[in-house]
Amino acid sequence: MRKRAALAGLVWKETRHILRDRKTLAVILLMPLLQVILFGYAIRTDIDDVRLAIVDPVPDHATHALRDRFGATELFRIVAVRRSSADLDGLFASGRIHQAVVFQPGFAERLAHDGPAPVQVITDAAEPNTGTAMQAYATAVIREYESGLRGSGPAGAAVTASVRMRFNPTRESANLFVPGLIAYVITIISALMTAISLSREKETGTMEVLLVSPLRPREIIAGKVAPYLLIGMATVILVLAEARLIFGVPLRGSAALLLAEGLLFTGTSLALGILISARTPSQRVAMTAVLAGTMLPTVMLSGFIFPIESLPAPLRLLSVVIPARWFVEIARGIMLKGTGLAELWQETVVLAAMTAALLAASMRSFRTRLE
Amino acid sequence: MRRVLHLAWVEVLHLVRDRASLAQLLLVPFIQLVILANAATFAIRDTPFALVDLDGTPASRALARHFLASPHFRPISGASTVPAADRAMLAGRATMVLVIPRGFDEALERGEGAFVQVQLNAEKGSAAGIVQTYAQRIVRRFGEERLAASPAGRLRPAIAVTTRGWYNAELDYRQYMVPGILVALVTLVGTLFTAQNIAREKELGTLEQLNVTPISKRAFIGAKLLPFWVLGMVELLLGLWIGAAVFGMPMRGSLLLLMAIAAVYLVAALGAGLLISTIVETQQQAMFVTFFVMMIYLLMSGLYTPVDSMPGWVRVVAEANPVKHFVEITRAILLKGAGPGDIVKPAAMLAMFAVGFGGMAVGRYRKGER
């Protein structure tokens, strides 16, 4: 009975620590909320404004017609018309244009008589995907003009692909990012906060004070991490609500299942935080270790931003041992596809096994360091 | 001046003495560089796709062969019916389903337009868009080949379009990402370590001791920043070298120009760190506030996704982001060989930030206060 009161006291002490530090608390609560907005609005790879330069040495009616075609599209904006391609380099280097369409003299004449009339499309392909897509769009505009010249006939596209986007038809980036963001938020709050809070007690020497209390090390840890568990879950719910209200991100599966899986993943992150704080000498080292050991993998190797299929084979292999990867898969499944435990039990088992192993390891290293 | 150097030397000793921190300072950025350069990629290869060929004619098989030959697609087995392909997509085994309907060959022979259906798992929005571009390109090319081969449509194209991608001919994602990642790392070192370093002195109480010494405010700040400034420059140089040696990152412009601009940029980054340290009391706060600011800066810098794809109001806000300008400059110099004339505007912006952040930090820092 006395012990329970002591444990409750510890939890209360930690809670007051958290509440007293207004700046950290504000950041913890604001960061995820702002992130949803940033990811939703700012992180897009759609191309909707291509700045185009036209190089037309000897303009004629055909080059004008084709130029008008480009100008009439929503996508392209002609920002420069030149007689020669001499200053294309500068235009590209200063970022004033993304793409250039280069004609040669006598375009109309060759088109009318001895075709094919050559046109060159130069694209800033420093970013490969955008480059490829811009190239495809520009080529399509020219081909459309070409088939317009011939009138309707066999020259039209012989095969048409009708495309159906499933699970996220409008390709809303918010839908893509929110499940990953939840993993990120849980990692920040659970792993980073726990590691810093525990190693601060070590650095300032107050951990010794706690250890001579009647509480066992296991209970001290439990008492210290309990408040973070609560904050973590509260933030997850906030993020879900915000994503739903602002971006209409769906939750097609069971909310209870998602929260339960979130709780499991919070356990994984807490265990990692404890493990790191037990193994590092100072707050600074603990922080960098958390950064390199949990945050980066969560952002980079979990499929949160960059698709796992795009990773090179060694990193794809490495991603298997990253807990966030499994959680992101689970969260995406529940939110976007509406899948349940029947489809997700494997991922859940992997995550549970990782949590158990990490918790055991962290308890052990904590005990050997302190007892 | 001697006082400044003295104090800077103390800082260096601190750094060298604390082995764990030193190892982190030196190693972590480069491990990150190597991992990030490989991981931060939207490159599409080996997209798993289910092929459902309901036609089973030479024409449908020819189209399928086009997909099989592409490096962007990889067929999965055991999903050759519509329900099976559907299940494969739901289980995440297939990212794309290609359905060639019955009568595909007939429609082609009759000279009408033939249809195929492409289903994409659009969970990963941007990737799905790119896969779609590739799939449609293959389908269109197949159509053009059929057209060219058929007697009815033996028309030569009226316009010969040649396309050229400049600055990254092999379409290697790493060449694009490495310069950006370098910027992120240098920024992190500059801002996070500065903010945390001063917060630590506050927490330990050694800042008070420094405050009662006769050293002037400006000299103190200069001495605090100098080692980190040097460290940032050295890390950038090393990173550039690794980028060139390991990832074959091109260096088309002048290295001197890049380093000169980096020297200015680092002042802005360090100034931001110093500014943060004046508003926090503990290391924990320093970390979280830095994190918060850095996250916004990095996400809106165009490092991961192009600024041009962002909505208009975000693009306006992004102008107030020094990281954005430095990412732009670094990529322009390294990949496009930009000279001083091409980067006047972003460089001027950086100088403004350096003066602004540095000035504000010095102004806010008060000796004698905690």
Residue range B66-110, pLDDT digits in tens: 888 888 888 888 888 888 888 888 777 888 889 888 888 888 877
pLDDT of residue A354: 92
Distance of CA A15 to the CA centre of its chain: 31
Q: For the segment A320-354, what is each residue's pLDDT rounded down to a tens digit? A: 888 999 999 899 888 888 888 888 888 899 999 99
CA distance B209 to chain A (A): 19
Q: Which two tokens stand for residue B320?
A: 């107030």
* CB contact A248 to B (< 8 Å): no
- Among A2-6, B325-329, B341-345, the range scoring the smallest mean pLDDT is A2-6
CA torsion, points A255, A258, A264, A267, in degrees to nearest 10? -80
Chain A residue with the nearest C-alpha to that of B90: A337
Q: What is the pLDDT along chain A (371 residues), one digit of tens a residue?
A: 567 787 888 888 888 888 887 877 888 888 888 888 877 777 666 777 889 999 999 888 888 988 998 988 888 999 999 998 888 888 888 888 889 999 888 888 888 876 678 888 998 888 777 888 888 888 888 888 877 776 544 444 556 666 666 666 655 666 777 888 888 888 888 888 888 888 888 887 787 777 777 777 778 888 888 888 888 888 888 888 888 888 888 888 888 999 999 999 998 998 888 888 888 877 778 877 887 777 777 877 887 777 777 777 888 888 888 899 999 989 988 888 888 888 888 889 999 999 999 888 888 877 655 54
Q: Say yes or no to pLDDT of B149 above 80.
A: no
> Does B128 sit within 8 Å of A171, measured CB to CB?
yes
* CB contact B71 to A (< 8 Å): no
Mean pLDDT on B107-128 = 76
A329 contacts on B by Cβ (under 8 Å): 92
Distance of CA A74 to the CA centre of its chain: 28
> Does A154 sit within 8 Å of B153, measured CB to CB?
yes
Residue partners of A317: CB distance under 8 A and separation at least 6: none
Interatomic CA distance for residues B138 and B145, integer angstroms: 11
Interatomic CA distance for residues B52 and A116, integer angstroms: 38
pTM: 0.76
> Does A312 sit within 8 Å of B38, measured CB to CB?
yes
Q: Which of A129, A158, A284 sits opposite B146 (nearest CB)?
A: A158
Q: For the segment B219-231, what is each residue's pLDDT rounded down to a tens digit? A: 888 888 888 888 8
Q: Say yes or no to pLDDT of B141 above 90.
A: no
pLDDT of residue B291: 80
CA distance B25 to chain A (A): 9
CA distance B216 to chain A (A): 28
CA distance A263 to chain B (A): 23
Q: For the segment B233-284, what is each residue's pLDDT rounded down to a tens digit? A: 988 898 899 888 888 888 888 899 999 999 999 999 998 888 888 888 888 7
CA distance B75 to chain A (A): 14
CA distance A228 to chain B (A): 15
Residue to substitute from B147, B163, B258, interface A, most A β-carbons within 10 A: B163
Q: Which of A90, A167, A288 sits opposite B123 (nearest CB)?
A: A167
Q: For the segment B24-72, what is each residue's pLDDT rounded down to a tens digit? A: 677 777 777 777 777 766 667 778 888 999 888 888 888 889 888 888 8
Residues 135-194 of B with CB under 8 A from A: 135-137, 139-140, 142-144, 146-147, 150, 152-153, 155-169, 171-173, 175-176
* CB contact B5 to A (< 8 Å): no
Q: Say yes or no to pLDDT of B10 above 90.
A: no
pLDDT of residue A371: 47
Residue to substitute from B287, B303, B331, interface A, most A β-carbons within 10 A: B287
> Does B89 sit within 8 Å of A166, measured CB to CB?
yes
pLDDT of residue A348: 92
pLDDT of residue A94: 82
Q: What is the count of residue pairs from A and B with beta carbons less than 8 Å apart? A: 351
- Mean pLDDT score of chain B: 81
> Does B283 sit within 8 Å of A163, measured CB to CB?
no
* CB contact B291 to A (< 8 Å): yes
* CB contact A29 to B (< 8 Å): no
pLDDT of residue B370: 40
Residues 300-359 of B with CB under 8 A from A: 300, 304-306, 308-311, 314, 328, 331-332, 335-339, 341-343
> Does B28 sit within 8 Å of A162, measured CB to CB?
no
Residues 289-318 of A with CB under 8 A from B: 289, 291-292, 296, 300-301, 303, 305-307, 309-312, 315
Convert chain A into a string of H (helix), E (strand) and C (coil): CHHHHHHHHHHHHHHHHHHHCHHHHHHHHHHHHHHHHHHHHHCCCCCCCEEEEEECCCCCHHHHHHHHHHHHCCCEEEEEEECCHHHHHHHHHCCCCCEEEEECCCHHHHHHCCCCEEEEEEEECCCHHHHHHHHHHHHHHHHHHHHHHHCCCCCCCCEEEEEEEECCCCCCHHHHHHHHHHHHHHHHHHHHHHHHHHHHHHHCCHHHHHHCCCCCHHHHHHHHHHHHHHHHHHHHHHHHHHHHHHHCCCCCCCHHHHHHHHHHHHHHHHHHHHHHHHHCCCHHHHHHHHHHHHHHHHHHCCCCCCCHHHCCHHHHHHHHHCHHHHHHHHHHHHHHHCCCHHHHHHHHHHHHHHHHHHHHHHHHHHHHHHC
Which H or E element spans position B363? helix B344-364
* CB contact A118 to B (< 8 Å): yes
CA distance A1 to chain B (A): 34
Q: Which of B143, B173, B314 sits opposite A42 (nearest CB)?
A: B314
Task: At A340, give phi and psi (nearest 5°).
Answer: -120, -165
Residue to substitute from A103, A129, A246, A301, interface B, most B β-carbons within 10 A: A129
* CB contact A102 to B (< 8 Å): no
